[in-house]
Amino acid sequence: MAGELDTPTRGRTARGRLRALDAYLCQFEAALLTRTDDAWDRAVFVDVGFGEHPWTTLESATAFRALNPALSVVGVELEPERASAAARAHADARTHFREGGFALPLSPDEPARLVRAMNLLRQGPPERIPEAHLAMSRHVLPGGLLVEGSSDTDGAVLVAHLLRRTAEAEAPAREGLLFHTDFSRGFAPLLLRDWLPRDLRRRVRPGEPMHAFFQAWEAAWKAARAEGHTAPPDAFAESVVRLARMTPGVCADAWLLAHGFLRWCPPGGTPA
């Protein structure tokens, strides 16, 4: 059962920790956030495991409501005291806080358009993580998105699964991986490797697709630096452009590069 994977966390999430991820979602998932046809008219955004204070939930609500003012938001927290405190301080007609875990506390008439679960799946056997993904995606409408991954304490470095619900399968499709850095810690591809989602951290070994990906990115980064792109933002952008030439599914979109993002959607999906 996915509930066995629910684990209490310290929950001391800093303000702004997921602000870059919010910006990405507003830029590239605006259609998902604003869709209102049929069941989408009542579809919610769910922030799983908001922690001691619901800063990330509230910041995301502000960002997403700039696109969709009527958007309903549900913050979910395993610790009942935290959920109750957030509800007392911050709940309103469009913003709700509930006790719960990966089996989301949503009613049958509350489909989800977007579910985010960051910095939660840090313990337990990696091979059981797909169970948590499946549990969180059960309420997601076809076409909706589950974002799950890890970041450092202030959000300077982040890597997340992009998991898309389809009409054809119960389990979400492993659409891609999203990498982000704000360059405050410099830049090298291996800096991001250390923040891979838990089910991929042990897959960066010879013979595995994740190992080949990072080897190719490291080579592209070294070549960029050798040609004079030594400032971290420049080295990042040039390395991604080079990587995209030799690695299918790497996106070299100008907005992504300017904001420190790499999105990799390999043919056939993210390696399992």
Q: What is the DSSP string of 132-192?
A: HHHHHHTTEEEEEEEEEEEE-TTSSEEEEEEEE--SS-SSPEEEEEEEEE-SBTB--HHHH
Per the model's pLDDT, the better-predicted residue between 251 and 4 turns out to be 251
What is the distance between the alpha carbons of residues 141 and 201, in angstroms, rounded to a whole number? Answer: 29
Tell me the average pLDDT of the chain. 94
Contacts of 216 (CB under 8 A, 6+ apart): 243, 246, 247
| Model confidence pLDDT, tens digit, residues 159-208 | 999 999 999 999 999 999 999 999 999 999 999 999 999 999 889 999 99
Helix, strand, coil percentages, rounded to 5, for the chain:
40, 20, 40
Give strand ranges (E) for the chain.
44-48, 73-77, 95-99, 112-118, 140-151, 157-164, 173-181, 250-251, 261-264
- The pLDDT of residue 6 is 56
CB 148 within 8 A of CB 161: yes
User: What is the average per-residue pLDDT within 75-93?
Assistant: 97
CB 261 within 8 A of CB 242: no
- The pLDDT of residue 18 is 97
Backbone angles phi, psi at 168, to 5 degrees: -90, -20
CB 89 within 8 A of CB 33: no
User: What is the average per-residue pLDDT within 4-15?
Assistant: 64
Provide the percentage of residues in the chain whose pLDDT is more than 90: 90
Domains along the chain with CATH numbers: 2-181 (3.40.50.150), 189-249+256-261 (no CATH)
Pick left, alpha or beta for residue 186 (phi over 0 → left; psi -120 to 50 → alpha; otherwise beta): left
| 10 pLDDT above the threshold of 70 | no
| 99 pLDDT above the threshold of 90 | yes
10 Å CB burial of residue 52 (0-12, 13-18, 19+) is middle
| 96 pLDDT above the threshold of 50 | yes
| Model confidence pLDDT, tens digit, residues 48-70 | 999 999 999 999 999 999 999 99
Order of strands, sheet of 261-264, starting from the edge strand that comes earlier in the sequence:
95-99, 73-77, 44-48, 112-118, 140-151, 157-164, 173-181, 261-264, 250-251
What is the distance between the alpha carbons of residues 63 and 22, in angstroms, rounded to a whole number? Answer: 7
3-state secondary structure of 209: helix
| 209 pLDDT above the threshold of 70 | yes
| Model confidence pLDDT, tens digit, residues 213-246 | 999 999 999 999 999 999 999 999 999 999 999 9
What is the distance between the alpha carbons of residues 191 and 158, in angstroms, rounded to a whole number? Answer: 10
